[in-house]
Amino acid sequence: MIIDVHVHSGQWLNASGAEVKTLIAKMDASGIDVSIVNSPKALTEQNPSGGNKEVFEIVCQYPDRFMGMAAVNPYHGEIAEKELNKCLSHYEFKGLKLHPWIQGYPAHSEITYALLDICEGYNVPVLFHSGTPPYAQVMQIAYLAHKYPRVKFILGHMGLTYQWRQAIEAAKIYDNVFLDTSGITYPFAITKAINEAGVHKVLFGTDNPFLDPQLEILKIKNLHLKSDQWEAIMYKNAEKLFLKG
């Protein structure tokens, strides 16, 4: 069983491969059972509902293969709050994705607070892109985790090449900070995260279709984990976080 917590669907900029059939083909080729999918378009487009609706339709069409994650633009204010509420209630999405550098605000900006309040109310995690200065710094997100101890935060890409060390520290300090493995290409950093922050803090993710799931799985296989560690990272932690609150 493999759950991928970091997946995108729908056309965005010039990215290809986000059509549902291609996503499923890639999941099948690399043994991924379930993808938790969000819409990059919903992060930035003027119409706040289109991208999330597309995700909802994919989940309805393939309920065994996908779970939905909302994406909204905090600059839309009350419209974004309304959209997020709809996603978490009507669509039964399992979390919120925010991407501060693409959306153009510092991760710890007050404009995210109302959305975090909503996530706290529904007890769903928030996945942040992390590791990119100046707007998506790990410690900006750690500051939010400090301020919102009941909201669970996933540091997407676990801080990437230059902020993985801070990401591990944040996951050690804050019970509500988790790390996803997508995009980071330093195997020793993932091993360190498991050893120092704990295997329960690490979630498998691919960033499919922007990154290749085959590579992302190869990276974890080559860590030669014990079977209980593999199971925790590849699906059990995600089940706990997204399905059992």
Partner 1 sequence: MKIIDMHCHIGKDIDVEVTCRGLIKIMNKYKVDMAVISPLGKGLIHEFKQFNQQIVQCVGENEGRLIGFCSANPWFENAVAELEKRIVKDKCKGLVLHPAKQGFHISSPLIYPLIEECQSLEIPIYFHTGTSTYDLPLDLSLLAAKFPKTIMIMGQMGTSDYWMDVEPAAKLASNLMVETSVNPNIALIQKLVKNIGAERIAFGSGFPFTDLEYEIKKIELCNFSDREQELIMFQNASHLLGVR
The contact set with partner 1 (CB under 8 A) reads 15-16, 131-134, 157, 160-162, 183-189, 192, 210-212, 214-216, 218-219, 222
- CB closer to partner 1 out of 85 and 214: 214
- Least Cα distance to 144 among 123, 120, 121, 165 occurs for 120
How crowded is the C-beta side of 87, counted as CA atoms within 13 Å? 35
Q: CB 147 → partner 1: shortest distance, Å?
A: 25
Q: CB 218 → partner 1: shortest distance, Å?
A: 6
- CB closer to partner 1 out of 214 and 229: 214
Q: CB 183 → partner 1: shortest distance, Å?
A: 6
Separation of alpha carbons 170 and 156, rounded Å: 13
Q: CB 57 → partner 1: shortest distance, Å?
A: 25
- CB closer to partner 1 out of 166 and 176: 166
Amino acid (one-letter) located at 181: T
- CB closer to partner 1 out of 36 and 189: 189
> What is the torsion angle, in degrees rounded to the nearest 10, for the CA atoms of residue 88, residue 91, residue 92 and residue 96?
-40
Report the chain's C-alpha Rg in angstroms. 16
How crowded is the C-beta side of 229, counted as CA atoms within 13 Å? 14
